[in-house]
Chains A and B, each alone.
Chain A
Amino acid sequence: MTAAWSIVGARARQGGRLVLDAAGLTVQPGEVVGVVGPNGAGKTSLLRAGLGLLPLVEGEAFLSGRRLQDLGAAERAALVGYLPQDRRLAWNLPAEIVASLGAIDLPEPQALAVARDRLARVGAAGLAQRGVLDMSGGERARVLLARLLATRAPLLVADEPIAGLDPDAQMLTLDLLRAEAVAGAAVVVTLHDLTLAARCCDRIAVIDHGRIVAEGAPAVALSSRVLASVFQLDGELVETAVGPVLAARRV
């Protein structure tokens, strides 16, 4: 099976600083991969470099087996949907128009139909006509998630999709992304909440100082050793009836 996304030996600089140092990641269709790491570890840089938004000094990235540089803008857009961390929007457009920007490849009436469907899926059907700048941060996050889902791309990349959301919205967001994976998409999310990461991801990649330092099933990737060396936490994942929970204190 062709990987939906693979990043090989990525080395990248930003503002003179090395932000990625031989980092790699491979994501297969149907799986949810979580990228975790402390602030400034290179999570966002890894995503941006893998999407061609941050130039690579060394290494390569592939989307559905095709070299990123060989893809035109439209071809690339058909292969990946990206939800950036920055949720600022420039204009107070109605939510359904913002969501329809995900389906830009379709004629406008169809794009709007897709947008309304995805808004309903994220529980924001009632917000379709509301201006996105008149919404709360959580409502706007839902609209942007609907925009991501409207891309219908085989790879969905979401940078901190649950930051600043209430617990219910956090779990809804991850459930919706999980549903996309079940339907066949490859999903990559960066997260700070290690409990939710362990619970919702098939695989976790831990990044630190621009390198992938651990990768595998949540229990493997988030071992006590990794928690201590990367996150400065003394603790472990504890299995409970509702899934794993991180029990830890600062070292």
Chain B
Amino acid sequence: MSLLRLCLVMLGLLVLAVVFAITLGETSLSISQYAQALIHPASPPGEVLWTIRAPRVAMAALVGAALGLAGATMQGLLRNPLADPGVLGVSAASGLGAALCIAGGLAAVPGAVEVGALLGALVAGGAVVAIAIRLREPEALILFGVAISAFGGALTALVFNLAPSPVAIAEILAWLMGSVENRDWTDSLRALPPMAIGAALCLKAGQGLRMLTLGEEAARMSGLRMSRLRAYAVAGAALLTGAAVAGAGVIGFVGLAAPHMVRALVRDDPRRILWPSALAGALLLVLADLAARMVPTDQELKLGVVTALFGAPAFALLAWRAARSWRA
């Protein structure tokens, strides 16, 4: 399948999922109410669709796309199918950065949480790459990811420990679990610029990621400027992850699962996988958020909880397969 066709199919599926997600919800509407919502967006059914559900779905799609693209980029750069912002601790560090901002009472300052999340993502992303340069074996990197995750988690626990008030703790906790509840259009608009820059950087790294298939030395001798590629890919993935974490909290495993869904369709190509991974990530998260809303529980399920419930077993399965191929 050509890349364009694959992307169009994925886009079609995404549009379908978005329509579903906007149509379905706790408040069930009749056909005439849907018609009313479409014709008069300011009517009460219109309010439900366009100011409650649609922005939430948009945020889920944006965050999913960002995480999918970030995951695909990190997998390409590190030549490791298990790389993902969550597994490598980039999300945890980003969450820490944001938690610090909230605990510091900066939650109301526009852009503060975003900057905190972004800085956390950049520091962890830089650390991961600094370590990856010195490692020969791909599985070793995952161990460092575990360490970075654990350290990020420990520091976040410290933030809880020293938090000024229970209100701040509850606020951070709710946010760390990951959710796109009650998002409005300005939240999406705020997430867009860093995501767009991050996406541009990742796509620019595409050809370099493909050359890296040969190994670093052969790629360098073919004219690849390794330090530039690293800077693009890490900055791109960190911007995407940071913006996603700032927008929706810590949502794990999307960056891992999205590239995996489309990998066979692009014949493992680390450049061609980028766009389809973004679309697959958006699709996954829109569906996961729909599930979070529709599962009848007293407390609405948090999106991050849903993705972790499905993502962790998927990660185990991928790790099992990868470990077998490394042994071979």
Cβ–Cβ < 8 Å partners of B215 in chain A: 84, 86, 88-90
A interface residues, tally (CB under 8 Å):
31
Task: Assess the A81–B214 pair: CB atoms within 8 A.
Answer: no
Partner of B222, one of A86, A101, A131, A133: A101
Is residue A175 within 8 Å, beta carbon to beta carbon, of the partner chain? no
Is residue B26 within 8 Å, beta carbon to beta carbon, of the partner chain? no
Task: Assess the B223–A80 pair: CB atoms within 8 A.
Answer: no
Task: Assess the A76–B268 pair: CB atoms within 8 A.
Answer: no
CA of A58 to CA of B238, assembled, Å: 39
B interface residues, tally (CB under 8 Å):
21
Partner of B220, one of A53, A97, A98, A147: A53
Stretch at the interface among B182-190, B205-213, B282-290: B205-213
Which residue numbers of B lie inside 8 Å of A, CB to CB? 79, 207, 210-215, 217-218, 220-225, 267-270, 325
Which residue numbers of A lie inside 8 Å of B, CB to CB? 48, 51, 53, 73-74, 76-78, 80-84, 86, 88-94, 97-98, 101-102, 104-105, 131, 133, 147, 151
Cβ–Cβ < 8 Å partners of A53 in chain B: 217, 220-221
CA of A83 to CA of B222, assembled, Å: 10
Chain A nearest CB from B112 CB (Å) reads 39
User: Interface centre among A53, A92, A93, A151, by most B CB within 10 Å?
Assistant: A93
Given A90-B215, A104-B211, A147-B214, decide whether A82 and B221 contact each other with a Cβ distance below 8 A. Answer: yes
Given A73-B223, A104-B223, decide whether A93 and B217 contact each other with a Cβ distance below 8 A. Answer: no
Task: Assess the A131–B223 pair: CB atoms within 8 A.
Answer: no
Given A86-B215, A101-B214, decide whether A94 and B223 contact each other with a Cβ distance below 8 A. Answer: no
Given A91-B79, A93-B267, A93-B269, decide whether A77 and B214 contact each other with a Cβ distance below 8 A. Answer: no
Closest to A75 in B: B223
Chain B nearest CB from A186 CB (Å) reads 15
CA of A97 to CA of B269, assembled, Å: 9
Partner of A91, one of B218, B221, B223, B268: B268
Task: Assess the B221–A80 pair: CB atoms within 8 A.
Answer: yes
Task: Assess the B218–A82 pair: CB atoms within 8 A.
Answer: yes
Cβ–Cβ < 8 Å partners of A82 in chain B: 217-218, 221
